[in-house]
């Protein structure tokens, strides 16, 4: 049961032109969840558009309907036009408006109803309907539940099921973490029953990276260091190194999880310098070992075992500060 679902139902009922937004550097869950919601709203006869602040990784270009996504950094004019017409806003897979970066000033002033669907702790977006379950495996799982609550499982088409499965699979590392809820397996079962081919999907999701990405991964693993605490791995990647390996958007996705496969390593940090001088940091951990508290020290956030932040500081300073707080 989703509390007050009637409110969401009437907000959708009154709308005809919906915009669905996801976070910066969209991952498989942000993409899967927003596109699944779009598919559902289109089936209801609405106009619905997914807007993302920046580009999705090229290796996701096979995802059904991904070409319909309007990307702000590539198409500001089109985004403005779509936003002008919108009468309902969905915020999916993020809990703070800062997570949509350059899209924020365009979306925040809109005087249209807002629905938030998210699985991060402490949702902090003013809205008319909030569906927040921090324990959920993925925002895509919540979109599935949301659709079922509103229209029943019959409304979940093969395409919607595929988009949802992509989100759940990527956010749980192929059902390897955030995966202890028995209900999740009922959902997976329902999605497979809709004809989703998990064998095929896993190949498309995890076995179609570029050779450059593979070599970059090998480089990252070879330069990984283990910090003085003996349980934290650190990988630092400069812009120069990224150029050498012809880095493409999303190429480092997943790297941060790899050191966790080493015995006794239960915390892993990937620090990546960006072209614009910002530094992007990803943190992962295992067990009762929060890393979101570390990310928060730098103005970021996330989940207990998966968090991140961005810093407008020199790379060396970020590393030094991180080493100071890690012990």
x-marked contacts with ligand 5GP along 129-168 as a string, rule CB under 6 A: ----------------------------------------
Residue 64 near residue 35, CB atoms below 8 Å: yes
Map the footprint of ligand 5GP across residues 51-70, applying CB under 6 A.
none
| Phi, psi dihedrals of residue 115, rounded to the nearest 5° | -120, 130
Q: Is 251 in the site for Mn ion (CB under 5 A)?
A: no
Based on its alpha-carbon atoms, the radius of gyration of the chain, rounded to whole angstroms, reads 20
Q: Output the six-digit token pair for 95.
A: 């809990």
Q: Is 184 in the site for ligand 5GP (CB under 6 A)?
A: no
Closest approach, Cβ 143 to ligand 5GP, in A, equals 16
Q: Output the six-digit token pair for 316.
A: 């060396």
Name which of Mn ion, ligand 5GP, none residue 306 binds, using a CB cut-off of 5 to 8 Å depending on partner kind.
Answer: ligand 5GP
Residue of 138, 164, 224, 306 interacting with ligand 5GP (CB under 6 A) = 306
Name which of Mn ion, ligand 5GP, none residue 282 binds, using a CB cut-off of 5 to 8 Å depending on partner kind.
Answer: ligand 5GP
- % helix, strand, coil for the chain, step of 5: 45, 15, 35
Residue 142 near residue 130, CB atoms below 8 Å: no
Residue 97 near residue 104, CB atoms below 8 Å: yes
Residue of 141, 159, 302, 318 interacting with ligand 5GP (CB under 6 A) = 302
Closest approach, Cβ 298 to ligand 5GP, in A, equals 9
* DSSP assignment of 221-242: HHH-EE-TTSSEEEEEE-HHHH
Closest approach, Cβ 99 to ligand 5GP, in A, equals 6
Q: Is the dihedral of CA 68, 72, 75, 80 positive or negative?
A: positive
Map the footprint of Mn ion across residues 59-118, applying CB under 5 A.
93
Q: Is 30 in the site for Mn ion (CB under 5 A)?
A: yes
Residue of 167, 250, 259, 308 interacting with ligand 5GP (CB under 6 A) = 308
Name which of Mn ion, ligand 5GP, none residue 301 binds, using a CB cut-off of 5 to 8 Å depending on partner kind.
Answer: ligand 5GP
DSSP conformational letter for 279 = E
Residue 158 near residue 186, CB atoms below 8 Å: no
- In this complex, which beta carbon is closest to Mn ion, that of residue 26 or of residue 113? 26
Contacts of residue 176, Cβ cutoff 8 Å, sequence gap at least 6: none
For binding to ligand 5GP (CB under 6 A), which residues are involved? 27, 96, 99, 120, 282, 300-303, 306-310
């Amino acid at each position: 049961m989703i509390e007050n679902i009637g409110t969401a139902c009437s907000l959708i009922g009154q709308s005809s032109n919906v915009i669905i937004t996801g976070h910066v550097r969209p991952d498989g869950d942000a993409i899967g969840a927003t596109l699944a919601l779009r598919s559902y709203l289109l089936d209801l006869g609405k106009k619905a558009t997914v807007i993302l602040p920046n580009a999705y990784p090229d290796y996701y270009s096979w995802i059904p309907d991904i070409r319909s996504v309007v990307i702000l950094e590539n198409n500001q004019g089109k985004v403005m036009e779509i936003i002008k017409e919108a009468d309902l806003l969905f915020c999916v897979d993020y809990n703070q408006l800062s997570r949509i970066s350059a899209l924020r000033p365009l979306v925040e002033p809109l005087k249209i109803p807002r629905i938030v669907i998210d699985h991060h702790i402490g949702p902090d977006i003013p809205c008319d309907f909030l569906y927040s379950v921090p324990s959920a495996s993925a925002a895509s799982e919540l979109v599935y539940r949301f659709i079922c609550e509103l229209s029943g499982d019959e409304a979940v088409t093969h395409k919607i099921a595929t988009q949802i499965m992509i989100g759940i699979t990527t956010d749980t590392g192929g059902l390897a973490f955030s995966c202890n809820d028995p209900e999740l397996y009922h959902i997976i079962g329902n999605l497979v029953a809709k004809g989703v081919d998990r064998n095929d999907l896993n190949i498309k999701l995890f076995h179609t990276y570029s050779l450059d990405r593979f070599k970059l991964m090998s480089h990252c693993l070879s330069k990984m260091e283990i910090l003085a605490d003996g349980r934290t791995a650190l990988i630092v990647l400069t812009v120069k190194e990224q150029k050498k390996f012809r880095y493409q958007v999303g190429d480092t996705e997943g790297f941060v999880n790899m050191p966790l496969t080493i015995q006794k390593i239960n915390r892993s940090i990937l620090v990546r310098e960006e072209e614009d001088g910002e530094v992007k940091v990803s943190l992962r951990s295992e067990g009762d070992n929060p890393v979101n508290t570390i990310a928060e020290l730098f103005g970021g956030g996330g989940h207990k075992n998966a968090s991140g932040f961005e810093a407008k500081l020199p790379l060396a300073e970020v590393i030094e500060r991180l080493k100071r707080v890690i012990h």
